Amino acid sequence: MVRQIPLGQPTVGQEELDAVKAVFDSGWLSGAGPSCKAFEEEFAAAIGVPKALSTSNCGSALHLGLMVSGVKPGDEVIVADYTFPATGHSVKWAGATPVFADVREDIWTIDPAAAEASITDKTVGIIAVDAFGQPADYDELNAIATKHGLWVMEDAACAAGATYKGKPAGNLADIAAFSFHGRKGITAGEGGALTSSNPELIEHARKLHTYGIAPALTREGSMDLPVPSFDELGYNYRMSDIAAGIMRVQLKRMPALMAARNRAADQYHELISDIEGLTIPAALADRTHPYQSYVLTFDPSIDRGAVAMALRENGVGCNFGTYASHLQPLYKSNAVCEVSASLFGRQLAIPMHAELSEDDVSYVAETLRTVMATAAVRNA
């Protein structure tokens, strides 16, 4: 039987089960309840911001962030091109146009020069993406935004636990969105969060994420019969209290989970950095990388698809890195993002999660080395 090393695997156990039971016992399972409130307070404290809002996923958090930032039809928002298309989708959900900017060749985050070159009289903001968890260049991006009267949003979908110059991800721009999808560093299977140092933005988002009224928890225990009125279009973007209970445990686990991922990354660095035809991910000294994914970049001489098939045949999970958004038919974009387009065709994610043992990483590395030594993965 072929050994199986999954691409991703959550770390969950009895503590999460106990947390779910506690939510069941409370009788409040739906969204925006007591468990969500407690998680929001704990997450805000971890990020170093006054307020956080739990959401159904990162896409909803991004959309809310755009809405409370005043984005409207006819506006343009500059978006890091190399990202899962939820980032660009959220701009379209707001009725605006995503304008894709190319990324750095080394850490794959938005190139500040490319972002500034994309500014027009319709531009209202910039969405930077913390590529696979490593933060973008926020000093430069915030300076560009200030110069041109724009806002900056941090797509921190993969970045829980990351830092930039000693400051936590989620507290690096005007507003930030997180994901708690099953492959992220901390997870409830699904879920997200919105954070900001501006509490007014979060409170406005709180109203919008509950159809445009205050959550029911705010009326709990009232001695009269408050009847909310709807004066603004909102959405159902709430996290369930079940997910929030899980997230409270995951947040406590976060330092240990990050340490485990970094140990695995260090071992990969040691074992595969000398393999001809591939480049390992770069981690800059002024930021903490949470390694949501461990992504390899292959030389053009390597057939990435052949490598992926050979790894999978040997039980090693893998997948392409992420998308060059401007190439997706939905956007019909005329952007030229040569770095992002090149990465889209040459990158491959290999197993990365906190459950990897040293033996697991060694097996992945040995298998990769063997695969890369075969003629079958060389382009003709």
Q: Is residue 205 part of a domain?
A: yes
Q: What is residue 224's predicted lDDT score, i.e. its pLDDT?
A: 86
Write out the H or E segment, with its range, that includes residue 296: strand 294-298
Q: In terms of domains, do 235 and 275 share one?
A: no
Helices 14-26 and 34-47 cross at an angle (nearest 10°) of 130
At residue 134, the pLDDT reads 98
pLDDT for res 176 = 98
Closest alpha carbon to 150 in 130, 131, 175, 167: 175
Rounded-to-integer distance, Cα 126 and Cα 118, Å = 10
What per-residue confidence (pLDDT) applies to 219?
83
Written as six digits, the tokens of 159 are 């970045």
Q: In this structure, what CATH number is given to the domain that contains residue 303?
A: 3.90.1150.10
> Which residue, among 298, 180, 302, 184, has the nearest Cα to 243 in the 3D structure?
180
Based on the fold, state whether residues 139 and 206 are members of the same structural domain. Answer: yes
Same structural domain, 166 and 260:
no
Chosen domain end from 225, 251, 277: 251
Q: Which helix (H) or strand (E) holds 248?
A: helix 241-272
Closest CA to 266 of 358, 157, 186: 358
Long-range CB contact pairs, 218-224, < 8 A, 24+: none
Q: What are phi and psi for residue 207, nearest 5 degrees?
A: -65, -45
Beta strands 76-80 and 123-129, pairing class = parallel
pLDDT value of residue 230: 95
Predicted pLDDT at 380: 57
Other Cβ atoms within 10 Å of 182 Cβ, number: 14
Together in a domain, 267 and 338: yes
Give the residue ranges of the chain where pLDDT is below 50: none
* Residue of 184, 207, 252, 332 marked catalytic: 184
In a domain, 4, yes or no: no
Q: Please give the Cα distance from 267 to 264 (Å, whole number).
A: 5
Cβ-contact 167, 174 below 8 angstroms: no
Q: Which domain holds residue 338?
A: 254-377
Please provide the average confidence, as pLDDT, over all residues in the chain.
Answer: 97
Domain match, 246 and 258 both: no
- Count of beta carbons in the 10 Å neighbourhood of residue 338: 10
Segment 260-274, tens digit of pLDDT? 999 999 999 999 999
Q: DSSP per residue over 117-179, as a string?
A: HT--TTEEEEEEE-GGG----HHHHHHHHHHHT-EEEEE-TT-TT-EETTEETTSSSSEEEEE
- Would you state the structure tokens that stand for residue 226, as one six-digit string? 């408050």
**Residue 9: inside a domain:** no
CATH number of domain containing 51: 3.40.640.10
Spatial distance between the Cα atoms of 133 and 34, rounded to a whole number of angstroms: 29
Residue 76, pLDDT score: 98
Residues 208 and 67 in one domain: yes
Does the predicted TM-score (pTM) go above 0.85? yes
Q: Exposed (0-12), middle (13-18) or buried (19+): which is 190, by Cβ within 10 Å? A: middle
- Would 6 be classed as within a structural domain? no
* Overall domain count for the chain: 2
Annotate 167-182 with DSSP letters as a single string: EETTSSSSEEEEE-BT
pLDDT at 220: 81
Same domain? For 92 and 66 the reply is: yes
Q: Are residues 295 and 206 in the same domain?
A: no
Same domain, 237 and 260: no
Per-residue model confidence (pLDDT) at position 218: 83
Catalytic-residue membership of 184:
yes
**366 and 222 both lie in a single domain:** no
